Amino acid sequence: MSFLSGSVPDKLASVPAQAGVLLLVYWLVWIIYSRTFHPLAKVPGPIWPSLSRTWLMYRMYIGDYQLSQEALHKKYGSLIRIAPNELAYSNPDGVPVIYRISNPLEKTDWYHTWKGAGLKSQIDMFSITNEKKHTAYRRAIGGVYSLTSILKNEELMNRNVTMLLDRLDGFVERAEEVDLGLWLEMYAYDNIGSVFFGKPFGFLESSSDHGGYIAAVHKAMPFLSVVSMAPSYARSALMVVAAAVPSLLRAVLAVDDIRKTAVRETEEAMARKSDSQRHDMLTRLLKVVEDAGDKTGVTHHEVTGEMWVAVIAGADSTAGGLRAVIYHVVKHPTVMSKLIAEIDSAYANGTLTHPEQHSQVTTLPYLMAVCKEAARVWPSFQVIMPRYAPAQGLRLPNGFFVPSGYGVGMNPFVVQRDTDLFGVDADDFRPERWLEADASQLRRMNAAMLSFGAGTRTCTGQHLAMAEIYKIIPEILRRFTISMPPEKEWTAFNASFNLTSGVVCDIKRREI
């Protein structure tokens, strides 16, 4: 009766205080539960991540997630709690368990963030989480992404190689330093255009960021990476924030232009008569729809979704891989000298000819080791790839039992620097490790490579990505002398795909 007897202003004034008390009680109860009674309470780790996903959001905002996770593993061990309901495991022995091929674990809802807004597709290779649907979908279109299929477009890729070399010649003639990382990114985007749409976007031809795609992706990705780490119920609200921040709004609109490009190109391809001479991915995917769409459930909307993923994820991740190779080679003169010697020798004995073919460059063992080592020390993807524990739960190799419905994953950056597997020098860029290992050790090392995922969810674009890298690196090193001042470093920002920049080099023509 005391509340009813008070004045209205007094009652209203007490509401915030009561709400504050309730909130305090809630948090006290949550802290006690999360740290004591929660099914994951016994897993080591700092307090903040065990209470809220805001720790993950903050680390993505700062852009150093992979380093923070690595430091936590060094402090707490191979299994850590990185969110109230999510674990990270770092020992390579977890790869065949978490990313198993038989009865694979389902992806978590983290992947939903990366589905293209405004697209009508129900499925795409990256964001689909249901394993049964993914298996059927991959069976229907997986052949389109095979190496054989990719290499039917090799002549188009060769034109992009030649165009990039010509543009780099221009910097030599003008005696200007070159942002090689940026030009490699433009090369990657034009290859996506050539292989997926049958024509380059025009980055290299115009010597510019065509459509502002690169700027848009580099602006949108850090924001989306924060959103992806938020609780699922908060993601829509966070996306609304983008409309209130001018720079984010511009990035979102520019990214939407990429969606419109995917839609337009799909519609134009559908309007064309079937052309057996075209081997681009868009034409081949539409052929799948035409021949078996009724049986597979694949429609032109799914094809548009694949085009979207190719541009958003394929180009930038490949560019990251290209920058990693060039940067680490330039920063290790001994490696560069050995690689150039191998390339020159291959030209001298006729193994390599210009334009270099994929079948030629893949015979160079040191080049293969260099590219693999760059992907090991600096994978393009540097967050965990989370999976839900199945209905019966999941027993990890260290003995911990993950109850059904809780998330667990592994981070390529952390796993691929495991000192027990890769040696005490695991943090070092040393391509020779791939040539020195015996067959057993090599199998174990390869099994721990998560650069393109693992299990049933390996990246369908890996053949194209590696073909782009293999074809351009020898061409550049054959023709040019590249250097960076020893004190100059690149900059890196982890936005799920690690965005690197600042690979600014001095460049000169070699006497060959």
Q: Give, in degrees to the nearest 5, the angle at Cα 108 between 74 and 316.
A: 75
The answer to whether the CB of 396 falls within 8 A of the CB of 97 is yes
Tell me which residue of 187, 245, 191, 188 sits closest to 219, measured CA to CA. Answer: 245
- DSSP per residue, 456-509: GG--TTHHHHHHHHHHHHHHHHHHEEEE--TT---EEEEESEEEEE--EEEEEE
Burial code (b: 16+ CB inside 10 Å, e: under 16) for 16-55 equals eeeeeeeeeeeeeeeeeebeeebebeebebeeebbbbbbb
59: number of Cβ within 10 Å = 22
Dihedral in degrees, nearest 10, Cα atoms 11, 16, 19, 25: -110
- DSSP per residue, 331-394: T-HHHHHHHHHHHHHHHHTTS--SSPPHHHHTT-HHHHHHHHHHHHHS-SB-S---EE--TT-E
| Residue whose tokens read 């194209």 | 464
| CA 465/CA 324 separation, integer angstroms | 13
CA of 82: how far to CAs of 111, 410, 419, 509, in Å? 17, 11, 22, 49
CA of 229: how far to CAs of 53, 384, 438, in Å? 7, 11, 40
The answer to whether the CB of 361 falls within 8 A of the CB of 468 is no
Q: Give the length of the chain.
A: 512
| Residue whose tokens read 């963030």 | 113
Say if residue 459 carries a ligand binding annotation. Answer: yes
Residue 255 amino acid letter: V
Which residues belong to the annotated binding site? 459
Which residues belong to the annotated binding site for heme? 459
